[in-house]
Amino acid sequence: MWVRFVGVGGTQIPTIPVAPYRCGTNVPGWYSGQMPISVDTTTNGTVCYTWVSGNCSFSNSISVTNCGSYYVYQLGAPPGCDYRYCTDIPGVWITDTTITPIEGK
């Protein structure tokens, strides 16, 4: 499923490690990959999940597409019940984000 994050909680998955117990979960996820630079391009990367044992204790693969003024993400299920994708606003941690599915991408 392709999704676009909208709302006050942020519109992008962070690209730097997130401390455990953030984003309303024990094991938060952050994107450890290259963001697509050009519009209408897609990159594949890894979401790392931070736990007490390290910044990338668990992971799963995702795809990210640059849509110009925003990104859409092809997300799979996180690897466990306490694992969640985070979103961010640079310099601020807010967790109230709506996930809006994008039909056809």
> Residue 95: what pLDDT?
43
Asked if 59 and 48 touch (Cβ cutoff 8 Å), the reply is: yes
Provide mean pLDDT across the span 65-81.
Answer: 95
Q: Which of 73, 77, 64 is nearest to 99 (CA)?
A: 73
pTM of the model: 0.82
Q: Are 28 and 20 in contact (CB under 8 A)?
A: yes
Please give the average per-residue pLDDT across 18-46, as a whole number: 94
Question: Long-range pairs for 52-55 at CB < 8 Å and ≥24 separation?
Answer: 52/20, 55/17
Average pLDDT rounded to a whole number, residues 27-53: 95
